[in-house]
A and B are shown apart, each in its own frame.
Chain A
Amino acid sequence: MIKRRKQRLAPGLVVAIVAAMVIALPVAAANQVTQILAAGTRSASVANLTLGSMTTSHSDQTNAGTMTLTADDSTGSNLGWNVTILSSAFVYSGANGGTDVPAANFSLTSAAAPSRTAGQAISGVGGPKVPAISPVGTLDSARKTLQALLTFGNGTYTQDLGVSLTIPADSAAGTYTGTLTTTISAAP
């Protein structure tokens, strides 16, 4: 009988001790609260690319479109960043024996001033901003469309970009698929 009572009491005693520790420890540490904020990342992507369909023609055709770049710096580092875009050739797929369209036929035609979606306000000096020399040009070379200097760009920003694709005369009917590489970077 006594042995059973001891057996019943032992687990209860352990629970009581643990409960007491759980209550006591926070009280002992009540003077200090620590919150660690882990760093996020920088990211850049484009969306809403509009390039209309085209029909075959005996003349070169230029297809103008727009896309929206979104750049985000959630690192909390306030160390600035740069965004570049670069295109590959447009690879032909279809049944008509077409030829790839070179990347040099895809151009950046305009880069608007960015808009803030969240976070730090835009500075005319520190950015984010369009580089001093306009980035318009052919996208067979990487083009920097947006940059934030040291202590700026700690937020989310969008930028409207104008693009244009020139389809050579007598191009075959089919699908032309390119790959756009957006890069956000940190460098000296």
Chain B
Amino acid sequence: MNAYLSFFLMSVLALLQSTLLPQFKVFGVQPDLVLLAVVAWSLLRGSEEGMLWALIGGLALDALSSARLGVNTLPLLLISFLAGLWQRGIVRQEILIPFLVIPVASLVYQGAVVALLRLLGWPGTWSASLRHAILPTTLLNTLLMPAVYVLMRWIHRRTHDENIEW
């Protein structure tokens, strides 16, 4: 997939996460659409392209968020780097692998966001964050991952000859 299309897709996902998804909360939370896409793409195409998606999606989320620049981007970069390490070791067509990866990725991502926020003076506590945000969001992300992965895999098959060069 070329860089322009990646930019457009990740910007749209970030916009949907800020505008559309808050209207349809489940368990009091909304899913991390950008995270799901980044994890799926990193598993399918590796860290290089995964980190591009993480960079664009993360910056878009930071622009729409009240948090400082980098609070969403840094954890997404970390997740895409780690998820991309699996890319060569797994059978890409397996839906089970992303289903198993996303709970860990979701916990790490949200934990990193909480850590960064607290470092910048946010008064929220770890226990409240775990109980009311991290765990319910992880559950929701896990339930949605199969659908997102199937969609990403379809895009991957249509564009797998187009590799992004840094």
- Co-assembled chains A and B: no
